[in-house]
Amino acid sequence: MTEYIRKSLRDSTVARWTALVLASFSIFGAYYFNYALSALKPMLESILGWNSEDFGTYTSAYAWFNVFLFMLIISGFVLDKLGIRKTGLGATLVMFIGTAINYWAVSHHFPDNAVVHLPLLGDMKTQVLWSSFGFAIFGVGTEATGITISKAVVRWFKGKEMATAMGMQMAIARLGTLLALAISLPLAKKFTVTAPILFALIVMLIGVVSFISFSLMDIKLDKSEVNLNNDKSEEEEFKIRDIVFIVSNRGFWFIAILCVLFYSAVFPFLFYATDLMINKYNVSPYLAGGIPALLPFGTIILTPVFGGIYDKFGKGATIMIIGSLILVFVHGVLAIPSIRIWWVAATMVIILGIGFSLVPSAMWPSVPKIIPEKRLGTAYAVIFWIQNIGLLFVPLLLGFVLNATNPDVSPNKQLVKSAIEKAYANVLPKASFTPKEIDRAIDKTTGTAVDSIVQYSHYETVPYEKVNTQKVENEIYNGIMKSLGNINLNGNKKVVMDEVIHAGAASAYTTINREKLNIRYDYFYDILIFLGLAILSVLFAFLLKMEDKRKGYGLEMPNIKKETVVE
C-alpha cells in the first residue's frame, strides 16, 4: 500500500506555478522600465539635447549603487537574513521610487545648459544626473528583486522542474522587455517622451500588489512544512564567513564571469538596438523597436523549453557553450559594414534570442548545484554584482566610443533643433499657442526631420568643422519662416499644429539634405565590442565545463529527482 502523503504546498503543481507567476510579475515591470528609454534614444537627443555619452551615462547608472556602494551584496545579506518576503516587498517599493524620480527628471523643465559639477567626473547635464539617479535607485530595487525571486524559485521548485520554472520566470520578465521595445517609441511619439515612464509607474505599482499576493502564498508554504524536519538545515542562519566559501569556489567564479560577459554582450546591445536599426538598416522609427523586440519574444517561448530539456536530460554546461557560440555568430554578422538589409538584422536578432534562451536557462539552475541553498541569496547577489560591473562600464564604453567615432551627429542635431526653435518662437505665440504646445511642436518637427534624413537620404556627409553652422541655421530658419507664411494660423488648433509640424519638418529636411549634415550614427566599433565579449564568454563556458568534470558538480546531470514512494 502506498503511504506517500502530500505534506508541502510545493507538491501542488497549481500552487507552485501560481506562486511563480505572482512573484515573476513584480520583475515584469522592472524589465519594461529597464528598456523603456532605450527605444527613445533618438528622441532624447533630438528633444532633450542628450548625446550618446549622456545616454551611456544614463544606462550605466543602473549599476552605480549596486557596484560602488555594494548594494547588491548587501541585498544578498538582507535576503539570507530577513528572508524572501520582507526583502522582496522592500525591493519592489524601491523600484517604484526610482521610477518616480526618473519620471520627474524627464518631465521637469531644467534651464537650458543647466549642469552640475561632480568631483572626478566633471560637468553633467542636470537632467541627465537626476534621471540617472532615479535609474540607479531603480537598479538597486530591480537587482534585489531579481535575487529574491531566484531564491524563491529554488525554494518552491527544488527537486522538481527548477530549470523550467526559472526559464518561465525569465520569460515573464522578458515580456516586459518585449513590451518596452515594441511600444515605448510609438507611445512617446503619440503622446510625450514621458508617457512610457508613466506607464512603467503604473506597472510597478501592480508589481508590488502581485508580490504581496505571492508572500501570502509563501506564508502558507511555511505552515505546510512546519513539521518537515528535512528543511531545518536549509534554514540555518547565514554567517558572514560563508561568503569566503563562495568566493573561494573556482566553479562559482567561472559561472559569474560567464554571466557578466554574456549579459554585457546582450543587455547593452538591446539599449542601443533600436537606434542601430534606424541608423544602419534604415528602419522606420515607428517600426525599429519591433526588430529588437523579436529577441525577448523568442526567449519567452524558448527559455522554458530549454530549461525543460536541462531538467530532464541535463547537459547544462554544454548548453551554455552552444549559446555563447551563437552570440559570436550574431555579432560577427552584425559587424559586417556591407550588410545593411533589415531582414538580415531581424534574422540575427531572432538567432540571438535562441542563444539568449540557451545560456540563462542552464546558468541560473546550475548555481544551486555549486552553492548550498543557505548561501544562495549571497551567491546570487555576488553574481549579480559582478554582472552589474559589466552593466556599469560597458554602456559607458559604448557611449564614449559611439560619440568619439561619430563626433558630428549630436552637434548637428542640436543645430537643427535650435533653428526650428527660433522660427517657432517667432511665429506660434502670435497664434495663441501655449509654451507647452510650442515645445511639443518643436520636438515633433525636429524628430520628424532627423528621422526622415536617416531613413531616406544617402549622401557623402560634410565634416562638422567644414559646415558653416550659422549659415545652415539661418537657412533652416528662413525656410521654415517662409513655409509657415503659407499657413493660416487662425484655424483649428490641432489642424494648424499638424500643418506647422509637416511644413517645418519638410523645410528642415530640404536644408539638411542639401547641406549634407551628418546625423547618422555608425555602430561598427560598438558591435566589435559586443563581438569581443561574446568570444570571451565562449572561453569561460568551456572552462566551466572542465571544472564541472573535475569537481563533479553535476552540471551535465538532469535536475528533476524522482519522488521517493514508501510502500
Locus of grid cell 532615479 = 134
Q: Cite the DSSP H helix spans in 428-468.
A: 435-456
Question: DSSP character for 238?
Answer: P
The per-residue b/e assignment along 2-11, b for 16 or more CB within 10 angstroms, e otherwise, is eeeeeeebbe
Q: Are 431 and 512 in contact (CB under 8 A)?
A: no
* Tens-binned pLDDT, residue by residue, of the chain (567 aa): 344 445 677 777 788 888 888 888 888 888 898 888 877 877 787 777 787 788 888 888 888 888 888 887 788 778 877 888 888 899 999 999 999 999 998 888 877 677 777 666 667 788 888 999 999 999 999 988 888 888 888 788 877 777 778 778 878 888 888 888 888 888 888 888 888 899 999 998 998 999 999 888 888 887 777 655 444 444 445 556 667 777 788 888 999 999 999 989 998 898 888 888 888 888 887 777 778 878 777 677 777 777 778 878 878 889 999 999 999 999 999 999 989 898 999 999 999 988 888 888 888 778 888 877 667 667 777 887 888 888 888 988 998 899 889 988 888 888 888 899 888 888 887 777 788 788 888 888 888 888 888 878 888 888 888 888 899 889 998 988 888 888 887 777 788 888 888 988 898 899 888 988 888 889 999 999 999 999 999 999 999 999 989 988 888 887 666 554 444
Q: CA 522, CA 508: separation in Å to the nearest integer?
A: 22
In the chain, % helix, strand, coil (3-state, to 5) comes to 75, 0, 20
Helix (H) or strand (E) run with residue 122 in it = strand 122-125
Grid coordinates of 332:
560577427
Distances in whole angstroms, Cα of residue 192 to Cα of each of 40, 448, 474:
11, 14, 28
Question: DSSP character for 231?
Answer: G
Q: CA 139, CA 105: separation in Å to the nearest integer?
A: 16
Tell me whether residue 367 is exposed, middle or buried, using C-beta atoms within 10 angstroms of its C-beta: 0 to 12, 13 to 18, 19 or more: buried
Distances in whole angstroms, Cα of residue 150 to Cα of each of 74, 364, 367:
16, 8, 10
Q: What residues pair up with 119 in beta bridges, in sequence order?
A: none
Residue type, 133: F
Helix (H) or strand (E) run with residue 111 in it = none
Grid coordinates of 290:
519591433
Q: What residues pair up with 117 in beta bridges, in sequence order?
A: 123
pTM of structure: 0.73
Locus of grid cell 531538467 = 311
Q: CA 164, CA 307: separation in Å to the nearest integer?
A: 4
Q: At what angle do helices 267-279 and 342-370 cross, to 10 degrees?
A: 180
Q: Which domains does the chain have, with CATH numbers?
A: 9-406+522-551 (1.20.1250.20), 409-515 (no CATH)
Q: CA 51, CA 42: separation in Å to the nearest integer?
A: 9
Q: Are 337 and 524 in contact (CB under 8 A)?
A: yes
Q: Are 386 and 378 in contact (CB under 8 A)?
A: no
> What is the Rg, in whole angstroms, of the alpha carbon atoms belonging to the chain?
26
End-to-end CA distance of the chain: 5
